């Protein structure tokens, strides 16, 4: 495990097989169940709420969830106060819900299904901003999950505040939990946790930039492929602190596949689900590229 955690001069994680392709398959209503062999190390294009029901129970060692945040941005365009340029916010259709009730139902259903496919000692990470993380925390607790920690991701290069009417929002929160209070023997790699967290004791605060530079996927016009692509470094920390090599990781909202991409580099297995065929295509393409990690403050 040591060798995979090390980052070489060019920013790539050293000593890894980076050329294995990823399988992709499209879910359909006729399909009732999947064996784990069929979906191992693949991205399934489909609705997570449907696909999860078809996966075998008590299968996964760790789950990473980066759900729609329901950011509720206004439909009018937002202009920066100082330079009057338009802000590129997250206004994707997949982030929209008619109400908080509808969002809560969606998250509740998802977390119910996820709990079914987690092994008894598995852990789950959910990341979101202040827009929804408190709701998600309540839903987790109502479903019987037991919260172990929250980890605060402090962005060293946050999007600046536009209108100067509130603080610049430079954080996201990750909730880390087990299935229930009695869960025993979950994985916690304390040396990694100490190394990643701030201060001598490695507290639950991670300082790192948002996804940028070479690792940000861009189309032929130079536009971001995915508005909320997560940094490789964030997934590296999640995976190294809470799994051993060979673990099986689930990501039901894969986006452009960051979780699987980093899992493969760290010798873990994965299953990803993503509803948008364009993101699935980009994930497949991304797996053909070597893994690049952007610089971090702590390295
Ligand atoms: C916050 S993004 C995840 C980004 C990802 N972590 C990455 O680094 O690229 C959430 C993703 O969930 C997908 N999504 C939304 N609803 C879904 C559903 N019902 N089933 C599967 N995927 C869904 C969206 O298309 C979007 O790509």
What does the pLDDT look like over 196-211, one tens digit per residue? 999 999 999 999 999 9
Lowest mean pLDDT segment, chosen from 83-87, 104-108, 138-142, 167-171: 83-87
Give this prediction's pTM.
0.89
Pocket of ligand 1 (CB under 6 A): 47-49, 66, 68, 94, 226, 228-230, 253, 255-256, 258, 273-276, 279
In this prediction, residue 254 carries a pLDDT of: 98
> Which residue, judged by its Cα, is nearest atom 15 of ligand 1?
94
In this prediction, residue 100 carries a pLDDT of: 95
Confidence of residue 75 (pLDDT cuts 50, 70, 90): low
Pocket test for ligand 1, best of 48, 94, 224 (most atoms within 8 A of CB): 94
C-alpha–C-alpha distance, residues 234 and 31, integer Å: 34
Confidence of residue 16 (pLDDT cuts 50, 70, 90): very low
Closest ligand 1 atom, residue 64 Cα: 6
Closest ligand 1 atom, residue 226 Cα: 9
Over residues 221-228, the mean pLDDT reads 95
Pocket test for ligand 1, best of 51, 69, 97, 275 (most atoms within 8 A of CB): 275
Local structure of 95: helix, strand or coil: helix
The residues, any chain, with a CB within 8 Å of residue 267's CB and separated by 6 or more, are: 1, 4, 16, 245, 246
CA 226 to ligand 1 centroid distance, Å:
10
C-alpha–C-alpha distance, residues 80 and 228, integer Å: 20
Over residues 148-162, the mean pLDDT reads 91
Strand residue runs (E) in the chain: 23-26, 42-45, 60-65, 118-128, 146-155, 171-178, 205-208, 248-251, 269-274
Q: How many of the other CB atoms lie within 10 Å of CB of 149?
A: 16
User: Are the C-beta atoms of 252 and 231 separated by less than 8 Å?
Assistant: no
> Which residue, judged by its Cα, is nearest atom 13 of ligand 1?
253
Query: Considering the chain, what percentage of its residues have pLDDT values greater than 70?
Result: 85
In this prediction, residue 51 carries a pLDDT of: 98
C-alpha–C-alpha distance, residues 91 and 100, integer Å: 17
Over residues 271-276, the mean pLDDT reads 98
Q: Which tokens hold the place of 123?
A: 């852990």
Domains of the chain (ranges, CATH numbers):
2-71+89-286 (3.40.50.150)
In this prediction, residue 166 carries a pLDDT of: 86
> Which residue, judged by its Cα, is nearest atom 27 of ligand 1?
255
Residue 4 pLDDT > 50: no
């Amino acid at each position: 495990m040591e060798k995979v955690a090390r980052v070489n001069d060019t920013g790539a994680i050293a000593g890894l097989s980076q050329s294995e392709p990823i399988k992709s398959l499209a879910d359909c209503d006729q399909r009732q169940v999947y064996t784990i062999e069929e979906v191992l190390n693949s991205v399934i294009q489909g609705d997570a709420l449907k696909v999860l029901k078809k996966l075998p129970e008590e299968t996964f060692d760790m789950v990473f969830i980066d759900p729609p945040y329901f950011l509720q941005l206004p439909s009018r365009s937002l202009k920066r106060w100082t330079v009057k340029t338009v802000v590129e916010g997250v206004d994707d259709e997949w982030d929209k819900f008619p109400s908080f009730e509808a969002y809560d139902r969606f998250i509740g259903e998802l977390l119910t299904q996820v709990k079914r496919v987690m092994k008894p000692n598995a852990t789950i990470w959910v990341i979101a901003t202040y827009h929804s993380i408190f709701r998600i925390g309540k839903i987790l607790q109502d479903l019987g999950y037991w919260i172990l920690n929250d980890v605060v991701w402090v962005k060293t290069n946050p999007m600046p505040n536009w209108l100067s009417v509130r603080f610049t929002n430079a954080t996201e929160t990750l909730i880390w939990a087990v299935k229930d209070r009695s869960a025993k023997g979950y994985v916690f790699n304390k040396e990694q946790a100490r190394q990643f967290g701030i201060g001598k004791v490695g507290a639950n605060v991670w300082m790192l930039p948002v996804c940028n530079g070479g690792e940000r996927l861009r189309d032929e016009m130079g536009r971001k492929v995915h508005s909320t692509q997560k940094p490789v470094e964030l997934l590296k920390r999640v995976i190294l602190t809470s799994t051993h090599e060979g673990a099986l990781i689930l990501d039901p909202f894969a986006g452009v596949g960051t979780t699987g991409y980093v899992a493969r580099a760290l010798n873990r297995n994965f299953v990803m689900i993503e509803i948008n065929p364009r993101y699935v295509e980009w994930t497949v393409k991304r797996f053909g590229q070597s893994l690049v990690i952007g610089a971090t403050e702590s390295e």
